[in-house]
Homo-oligomer: A and B are copies of this chain.
Amino acid sequence: MKPVKLYQLKDYTFATKEAQVDEEGNAHSRILKLQSDYASYGVRRAVEAIILVHEHKHPHVLMFQFGGAYFKLPGDNLSPEEDEIEGLCKSLNKKLGSEAKSVEASSTEKDTNGGKTEMQANEWIIGECISTYYRPNFETFMYPYCPPHISRPKEIKKTFLVHLPDKKILTVPRNMKLIAVPLFELYDNCARYGQQLAALPHLLSRFDFDFVEK
């Protein structure tokens, strides 16, 4: 398997854009929304992005921090019938894309128009599926498998590795905080980050990384 190229945090430009409604709300309102969505559309599908940079040749994961200690990967729920890759690109543009005229989201780097190799501002390269989580009930906990005796989960969430180009402008809503968390901070740290984020070091360990320093 080809090594995954990681670039340094300093290779990216972080800008801010208009505040967005914090859709996370509180746990109770999230569950109520899930219940009403489930009644209308069935099993909810969600997608999240694992976006990596490196500092001193150690991988760091980009994630949002809400309040003091609620952390979340960039991503969103999918509309019924929405394609996973397209939905994830759309969500990444909303959360991290520049505000310049939006271009069509694409899962592969476009290199067809006359040797134009530079990546469009709002394109994302969505890579490997890393994990899948199942929400068996209208509760906050999710598992990396569908528990026995649950014939139909309420939500299925997939995470994908997103390959950043060697430079990019990431534009963060003014009311949100994007942080880069090293793997050694996530490891064995369910207490702070929860089961899913604390498992990221394990999930990423199968990849060889090429730590590019410019």
Contacts and interface: CB of A to CB of B under 8 A. Distances in A.
Interface of A: 1, 56-59, 128-133, 143-145, 147-148, 182-184, 187-188, 190, 195-196, 199, 201-206
B199 A202 contact: yes
Contacts of A184: 143, 145, 147-148
A57 B145 CA distance: 11
A195 B186 CA distance: 13
Nearest to A206: B129
Nearest to A184: B147
Contact of A148 (B56, B144, B205): B56
Nearest to A202: B199
8 contacts: A128-B206, A131-B206, A143-B187, A144-B183, A145-B187, A145-B205, A147-B184, A148-B182
Contacts of A202: 131, 144, 195-196, 199, 202-203
Given A195-B188, A199-B202, A202-B199, A58 B145 contact: yes
A196 to B, nearest CB: 8
A206 B148 contact: no
A145 B195 CA distance: 18
Nearest to A57: B148
A206 B130 contact: yes
